[in-house]
Amino acid sequence: MMAAAPERISIDNLREDLPMSAQAVELLFVEDSETDVELALRAISKEGFAPSWRCVQQESEMREALSARLPQVIVSDFTMPRFSGVASLRVAKEMAPSVPFIFVSGTIGEERAIEALLLGATDYILKDNMKRLGSAVRRAIAESDERERARVAEEERRRLVEIMEATSDYVDMSDPDGRRTYLNAAGCRMLGITREAAIGAQVLDNYPGWARDVISREGRPTAERTGLWSGETAVLDATGREIPVSQVLIAHRDAEGRISFFSTIARDIQERKDFEARIRYFANYDALTGIPNRELLADRASQAITHARRGGRFVALIVMDLDRFKLVNESWGHRAGDELLRDVGERLERSVREGDTVARLGADTFAILAAGLARPDDVLVVVRTLRQALRTAFHLRDTELHLTVSMGIGISPRDGSEFDLLLRNADAALHRAKTAGGGTFQFYAEEMTRDASERMELESDLRRAVAERGLEVHFQPQVALTDGRILGVEALMRWHHPRRGWIPPAQFIPIAEESDLISRIGEFALSEGSRHLLQWDHSGARPLRLAVNLSARQFRSADLLESTRRVLQSTGLDPGRIEFELTEGILLEKRDEAIDILRRLKSLGVQIAIDDFGTGYSSLSYLSELPIDCLKIDRTFVQRSTERERDAAIVQAVVSLARSMSLRVVAEGVETDAQARFLVHQVCEEAQGFLFSRPVPGSQLAVLLREPLPQR
Ligand code: C2E
Ligand code: CA
Ligand code: CA
- Kindly report, residue by residue over 143-187, the tens digit of the pLDDT: 988 988 999 999 999 999 999 999 999 999 999 999 999 999 999
SS3 487: strand
Residue nearest to atom 2 of ligand 1 (CA): 549
Residue nearest to atom 10 of ligand 1 (CA): 695
Residue 476 Cβ contacting ligand 1 at under 6 Å: yes
Burial of 397 (0-12, 13-18, 19+ CB in 10 A): exposed
Residue 28 has pLDDT above 70, yes or no: yes
For residue 521, give the ligand 1 atom closest to its CA.
41
DSSP label at residue 575: G
CA of 492 to the centre of ligand 1 (A): 6
Question: What is residue 1's predicted lDDT score, i.e. its pLDDT?
Answer: 41
Residue nearest to atom 33 of ligand 1 (CA): 549
CA of 490 to the centre of ligand 2 (A): 7
For residue 524, give the ligand 1 atom closest to its CA.
41
Question: What is residue 2's predicted lDDT score, i.e. its pLDDT?
Answer: 43
Mean pLDDT for the stretch of residues 668-681: 96
Mean pLDDT for the stretch of residues 119-140: 89
Instruction: Give residue 103's identity as a one-letter amino acid code.
Output: F
Q: Give the residues across from 260 on adjacent strands.
A: none
Please give the Cα distance from 526 to 669 (Å, whole number). 22
Mean pLDDT for the stretch of residues 209-229: 95
CA of 182 to the centre of ligand 2 (A): 84
Residue 36 has pLDDT above 80, yes or no: yes
pLDDT band at 502 (very low <50, low <70, confident <90, very high): very high
Instruction: Give residue 679's identity as a one-letter amino acid code.
Output: L
Which ligand number lies closest to the CA of residue 492?
A: 1
* 324 φψ region: left (φ > 0), alpha (ψ -120 to 50), beta (else): left
Task: State the DSSP string of 165-218.
Answer: HHSSSEEEEE-TTSBEEEE-HHHHHHHT--HHHHTTSBGGGGS-HHHHHHIIII
Could you tell me whether strands 486-497 and 545-549 are parallel, antiparallel, or unpaired per DSSP bridges?
A: parallel
Tallying the residues shown for the chain, one arrives at: 712
pLDDT band at 113 (very low <50, low <70, confident <90, very high): confident
Question: What is residue 281's predicted lDDT score, i.e. its pLDDT?
Answer: 85
SS3 120: coil
Mean pLDDT for the stretch of residues 74-80: 90
Q: Give the residues across from 254 on adjacent strands.
A: none
Question: What is residue 279's predicted lDDT score, i.e. its pLDDT?
Answer: 87
Q: What share of the chain is helix, strand, coil (3-state, %, to 5)?
A: 50, 25, 25
Question: What is residue 377's predicted lDDT score, i.e. its pLDDT?
Answer: 84
Residue 505 Cβ contacting ligand 1 at under 6 Å: yes
pLDDT band at 711 (very low <50, low <70, confident <90, very high): low
Mean pLDDT for the stretch of residues 74-79: 91
For residue 551, give the ligand 1 atom closest to its CA.
44
Residue 356 burial (CB count, 10 A): 21
Q: Which long-range contacts (CB under 8 A, 24 or more apart) does 537-544 make?
A: 539/702, 539/705, 541/702, 541/705, 541/706, 542/485, 543/574, 543/577, 544/486, 544/487, 544/488, 544/489, 544/577
Residue nearest to atom 16 of ligand 1 (CA): 669
Mean pLDDT for the stretch of residues 607-618: 86
Please give the Cα distance from 665 to 548 (Å, whole number). 16
Instruction: Give residue 651's identity as a one-letter amino acid code.
Output: V
Report the residue among 475, 476, 479, 492 best suited for mutation to probe ligand 1: largest number of ligand atoms under 8 A from its CB.
492
Residue nearest to atom 13 of ligand 1 (CA): 669
Please give the Cα distance from 448 to 453 (Å, whole number). 8
Residue 471 has pLDDT above 90, yes or no: yes
pTM of the model: 0.54
Residue 502 Cβ contacting ligand 1 at under 6 Å: no
Mean pLDDT for the stretch of residues 583-610: 92
Residue 573 has pLDDT above 60, yes or no: yes
Question: What is residue 200's predicted lDDT score, i.e. its pLDDT?
Answer: 95
Mean pLDDT for the stretch of residues 413-430: 93
Question: What is residue 9's predicted lDDT score, i.e. its pLDDT?
Answer: 44
CA of 616 to the centre of ligand 2 (A): 14
Backbone angles phi, psi at 285, to 5 degrees: -125, 150
Residue 116 Cβ contacting ligand 1 at under 6 Å: no
Please give the Cα distance from 134 to 46 (Å, whole number). 7
Residue 475 burial (CB count, 10 A): 28
Residue 447 has pLDDT above 90, yes or no: no
Report the residue among 527, 530, 549, 686 best suited for mutation to probe ligand 1: largest number of ligand atoms under 8 A from its CB.
549
Residue 695 Cβ contacting ligand 1 at under 6 Å: yes
Range with the lowest mean pLDDT among 117-121, 218-222, 364-368, 655-659?
117-121
Please give the Cα distance from 103 to 120 (Å, whole number). 11
* % of the chain surpassing 90 pLDDT: 68
pLDDT band at 357 (very low <50, low <70, confident <90, very high): very high
Let me know: does 393 contact 402? Beta carbons within 8 Å: yes
pLDDT band at 6 (very low <50, low <70, confident <90, very high): very low
CA of 612 to the centre of ligand 3 (A): 4
pLDDT band at 548 (very low <50, low <70, confident <90, very high): very high
Which ligand number lies closest to the CA of residue 509?
A: 1
Residue 612 Cβ contacting ligand 1 at under 6 Å: yes
- Kindly report, residue by residue over 270-304, the tens digit of the pLDDT: 999 999 888 888 889 998 999 999 999 999 999 99
Please give the Cα distance from 287 to 342 (Å, whole number). 10
Residue nearest to atom 3 of ligand 1 (CA): 612
Would you give the distance in Å from CA 347 to the centre of its chain?
Answer: 23
- Kindly report, residue by residue over 303-318, the tens digit of the pLDDT: 999 999 888 899 999 9
Residue nearest to atom 45 of ligand 1 (CA): 549
For residue 670, give the ligand 1 atom closest to its CA.
18
pLDDT band at 196 (very low <50, low <70, confident <90, very high): very high
Question: What is residue 3's predicted lDDT score, i.e. its pLDDT?
Answer: 43
Residue 19 has pLDDT above 70, yes or no: no
Mean pLDDT for the stretch of residues 535-561: 92
